[in-house]
Amino acid sequence: MGLIVQKYGGTSVGSPERIKNVARRVARWRQEGHQIVVVVSAMSGETNRLIALAKEIQAQPDPRELDVMVSTGEQVTIALVAMALIDLGLKCRSYTGGQVRILTDSAFTKARISNIDDLNLRRDLRDGYVVVVAGFQGVDEAGNITTLGRGGSDTTGVALAATLAADECQIYTDVDGVYTTDPRIVPEARRLKTVTFEEMLEMASLGSKVLQIRSVEFAGKYKVKLRVLSSFEEAGEGTLITFEEDEKMEQATISGIAFNRDEAKITILGVPDRPGIAYQILGPVGDANIDVDMIVQNVGHDGLTDFSFTVHRNDYSRVLEILTPIALHIKAREVQGGNRIAKVSVVGVGMRSHAGIASTAFRTLAEEGINIQMISTSEIKISIVIDEKYMELAVRVLHKVFGLDQPS
Ligand code: ASP
Ligand code: MG
């Protein structure tokens, strides 16, 4: 018997039938004597629909108002799930983020959780209620509704699990776990039984959409036991995110190939090579709350250098706007950009103890005639920026060369 947080994603609550199915699963866990907190996303497609609707009124929707609006998606599902549970004879109460008091900062559309008031939840759980909480949303000090960024319900789930010291946080989704890569691109991709927290963090930040990256950060920080499972299967152990690498040491060196088409590249040519230049370029980008991913600065020649970095594709035009006057100011020659790029990454903790992973990756891409535009590495990953049109090919050949299609 324990306290379990179960988070159900949009497809898992995508129709009345599926909601009833979720309720039946929750009821089974409840019958086994567990205390259950359910966190839900909006019904599938709903958040996109709301955002599109907002854009019909205002091309760049006001962030505060957008949050007021998109948070309604989850408010609908908590009520429906609660009704389904009550209909099964369970005691149940739903809460919006603000009702729980999931306190966040005021960064609308990408707020961060700063505190969760767990008083009501604990009382309800003690009194035998199933508690259903809206994912993705919170409230700031002033009482404004905020949202946590796309995919943010995962973070709500993990944050609640951390606050309540839950025994497990189960993320129910439309796949039965974390895969070596996206099976839609590589049909031979396999489900991983376990993946280390660090690998998961890399995969999430590198484009694997299974978990929102902030949820993984949270899980790591608070040592939340996290499991990804399918809501469409009765049984199945899914993928457990582990903290010990030891049990993996004998396994494959590489755990997965991640990819991401959501990036754009910006290059500033002929930048004066002097102290403070990187700051002059990237400072204003950071001030605009835009995350910079890969950064490459070439060796200078004749007092000039080239400076490239990548950002999310959505931020591309904004960054060009910010940098055009700056480039003039610092007397750079030219700002260039491209948003037809993709990033492919090889991830595995085994890289630490195995040499030659990078050269194997580079050789494999070379054999396919794929040109590498940028490279970045960490202890457990190698990321490569290439032309978007070769992305799927790159993922397939890397998946194969590292033996990820072989049963372990
Ligand atoms: N409904 C939100 C989204 O679609 C949050 C979530 O599903 O996690 O991004
Ligand atoms: Mg999600």
Residue 291 DSSP SS3: coil
What pLDDT sits at residue 297? Answer: 86
The Cα–Cα gap between 164 and 402 comes to 40
Q: How many residues does the chain have?
A: 408
Under 8 Å between Cβ of 163 and 75: no
β-strands 341-347, 256-260 pairing? antiparallel
What pLDDT sits at residue 406? Answer: 86
Helices (H), 143-240: 153-163, 197-205, 213-222
Please give the number of the atom of ligand 1 that sits closest to the Cα of 149. Answer: 9
What pLDDT sits at residue 246? Answer: 53
Which helix (H) or strand (E) element contains residue 208?
A: none
Question: Measured at the alpha carbon of residue 176, what is the angle toward residues 171 and 178, in degrees to the nearest 5?
Answer: 80
What pLDDT sits at residue 131? Answer: 98
Ligand nearest to the backbone CA of 153? 1
Write down the pTM of the prediction.
0.83
CA of 9 to the centre of ligand 2 (A): 6
- Burial bucket for residue 139 (CB in 10 Å: 0-12, 13-18, 19+): buried
Which helix (H) or strand (E) element contains residue 281?
A: helix 277-287
What pLDDT sits at residue 68? Answer: 98
Which helix (H) or strand (E) element contains residue 346?
A: strand 341-347
CB atoms within 10 A of CB 186: 21
pLDDT digits (tens, 9 = 90+) for 39-85: 999 999 999 999 999 999 999 999 999 999 999 999 999 999 999 99
What pLDDT sits at residue 277? Answer: 87
Q: Which residue, chain included where needed, has tokens 């400076």?
A: 307
In this structure, the residue with its CA closest to atom 4 of ligand 1 is: 47
pLDDT digits (tens, 9 = 90+) for 97-144: 999 999 999 999 999 999 999 999 999 999 999 999 999 999 999 999
Under 8 Å between Cβ of 135 and 76: no
In this structure, the residue with its CA closest to atom 8 of ligand 1 is: 151
pLDDT below 70 — which residues of the chain?
244-252, 408
Q: Is 122 in the pocket of ligand 1 (CB under 6 A)?
A: no
Residue 31 DSSP SS3: helix
Under 8 Å between Cβ of 323 and 280: no
What pLDDT sits at residue 1? Answer: 80
Q: Which residue, chain included where needed, has tokens 């709500």?
A: 156
Q: Is 152 in the pocket of ligand 1 (CB under 6 A)?
A: yes
In this structure, the residue with its CA closest to atom 6 of ligand 1 is: 151
pLDDT digits (tens, 9 = 90+) for 277-286: 899 999 999 9
